[in-house]
């Protein structure tokens, strides 16, 4: 250590974090401080995500202590950052930027991402590259002279693209390489010329998802994340965190789907049958086991990056959501066939529990597709967790440009 360098300060414990929260509240009364100003001050105090480094919204403390901060601020009536609206930024973009971004990128993007001033979306899937994401065809060509990248292609199933300022984007930069090795990861400004967002109307009637067309979109090389050609490796960090964000969220007992089904059972005794009771009990036990597993996963995340455990959580979440929503529709009988709000809206976030049973049943169909299809995730569990032989892949070492599409 240089002679004049300050010694690193130890990460605060729970009591230290409570003192920091009190200092924040004394300096920025939530009752009188504008929301964005309070959130910026919270970030600058290291109380946004305590496990992040100092200066980037954190204090280098254990991830498990975040709950201490959140509880203290919630009790004081402090505003949150509306995490459902900015879930892609929090759960996918931020950990990827933290791991692979330059210092300039971290300082530029993490603060407005966390405060919600800049919403993020994910430009990964394409019409011909969904389950086989590495087959993507969107091209990024580097321009002589400026060093900028010019991107052309189409992305699909993009949540929040209609409200996003920024996107995490993977594009093919070397078609002569095999499909996994010729990809580069970028940060794309959704307000730039050449970015067109079109709604995709879903079975729910909403357009929560979008398709995005990229025509001659210029991205400066300073918005490249990771090395050229390392996009697939960088994307794995995003995908692993995405699966945790979808399937590994901590909720209270009887939270989420199972809570709505259990409440209907208790409040409507005239609807009960023995068969439905047995099924509800079984799903309740599975939901509780999943909740406890999510807590365990959170403890594991405190020691490192998410691995294939998040894949298993996401698989279980998708299956349970579909089975529970189906049971709720059956329990409600004729009422379960009604859907009160089949309207064309472009929501800012998904609300499973605040809607009727018909909405939950229809929306849950997407749970086994988003974040990686269940079939692909089963392959990941089989190969990376159980060590089973991989499926035959004839295209593994073939240049992308020679693949049939």
Domains of the chain: 14-115 (1.10.540.10), 120-228 (2.40.110.10), 236-385 (1.20.140.10)
CA–CA–CA angle 169, 116, 91 (5° rounding): 50
Backbone angles phi, psi at 257, to 5 degrees: -60, -45
pLDDT of residue 332: 92
Q: Is 117 a catalytic residue?
A: no
CA distance linking residue 167 with residue 188, whole number of Å: 5
pTM score > 0.75 for this model? yes
Query: Strand, helix or coil at 149?
Result: strand
| DSSP code, position 402 | G
In the predicted model, residues of the chain with pLDDT beneath 50 are 1-5
3-class DSSP assignment, residue 323:
helix
The pLDDT value recorded for residue 4 is 47
The residue whose two tokens read 């009536």 is 77
Residue 123: the pLDDT is 97
Residue 306 has a pLDDT of 59
Return the pLDDT at 310.
Answer: 72
Cα gap 249→283, rounded to integer Å: 18
**pLDDT confidence of residue 393:** 81
Q: How far apart are CA 260 and CA 239, in angstroms?
A: 29
Q: What interhelical angle do 274-301 and 231-247 show, nearest 10?
A: 130
CB 163 within 8 A of CB 191: no
Which residues 6+ apart lie within 8 Å of 182 measured at CB?
172, 173, 174, 175, 176, 229, 400
Among residues 118, 208, 211, 242, the one annotated as catalytic is 242
pLDDT of residue 22: 97
Please name the helix (run of DSSP H) or strand (run of DSSP E) that holds residue 35, with its range, or none: helix 35-44
Around 6, how many Cα atoms within 13 Å sit in the side-chain half-sphere?
Answer: 3
At residue 2, the pLDDT reads 44
């Amino acid at each position: 250590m240089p002679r004049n360098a300050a010694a690193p300060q130890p990460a605060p414990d729970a009591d230290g974090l409570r003192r920091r929260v009190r200092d924040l509240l004394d300096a920025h009364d939530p009752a009188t401080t504008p929301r964005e100003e309070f959130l910026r001050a919270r970030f600058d105090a290291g109380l946004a995500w305590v496990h992040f480094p100092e200066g980037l919204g954190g204090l280098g403390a254990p991830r498990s202590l975040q709950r201490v901060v959140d509880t203290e601020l919630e009790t004081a009536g402090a505003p949150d950052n509306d995490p459902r609206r900015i879930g892609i930024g929090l759960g996918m973009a931020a950990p990827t930027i933290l791991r692979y971004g330059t210092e300039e990128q971290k300082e530029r993007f993490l603060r407005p991402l966390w405060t919600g001033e800049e919403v993020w979306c994910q430009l990964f899937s394409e019409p011909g590259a969904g389950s086989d994401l590495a087959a993507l065809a969107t091209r990024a060509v580097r321009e002589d002279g400026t060093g900028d990248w010019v991107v052309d292609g189409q992305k699909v199933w993009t949540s929040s693209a209609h409200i996003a300022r920024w996107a995490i984007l993977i594009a093919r930069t070397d078609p002569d390489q095999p499909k996994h090795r010729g990809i580069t990861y970028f940060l794309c400004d959704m307000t730039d010329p050449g970015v067109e967002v079109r709604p995709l109307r879903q079975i729910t009637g909403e357009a929560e998802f979008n398709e995005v067309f990229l025509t001659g979109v210029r991205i400066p090389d300073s918005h490249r994340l990771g090395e050229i050609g390392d996009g697939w490796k960088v994307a794995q960090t995003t995908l692993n965190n995405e699966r945790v964000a979808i399937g590994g969220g901590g909720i209270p007992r009887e939270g989420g789907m199972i809570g709505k089904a259990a409440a209907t059972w208790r409040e409507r005794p005239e609807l009960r049958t023995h068969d439905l009771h047995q099924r509800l009990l079984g799903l309740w036990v599975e939901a509780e086991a999943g909740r406890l597993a999510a807590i365990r996963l959170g403890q594991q995340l405190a020691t490192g990056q998410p691995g294939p455990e998040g894949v298993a959580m996401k698989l279980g979440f998708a299956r349970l959501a579909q089975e529970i929503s189906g049971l709720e529709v059956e329990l409600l009988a004729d009422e379960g066939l009604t859907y009160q709000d089949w309207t064309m809206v472009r929501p800012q976030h998904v609300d499973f529990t605040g809607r009727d049973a018909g909405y939950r049943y229809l929306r849950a169909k997407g749970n086994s597709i988003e974040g990686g299809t269940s079939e692909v995730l089963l392959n990941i569990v089989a190969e990376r967790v159980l060590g089973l032989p991989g499926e035959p892949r004839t295209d593994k070492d073939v240049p992308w440009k020679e693949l049939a599409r």
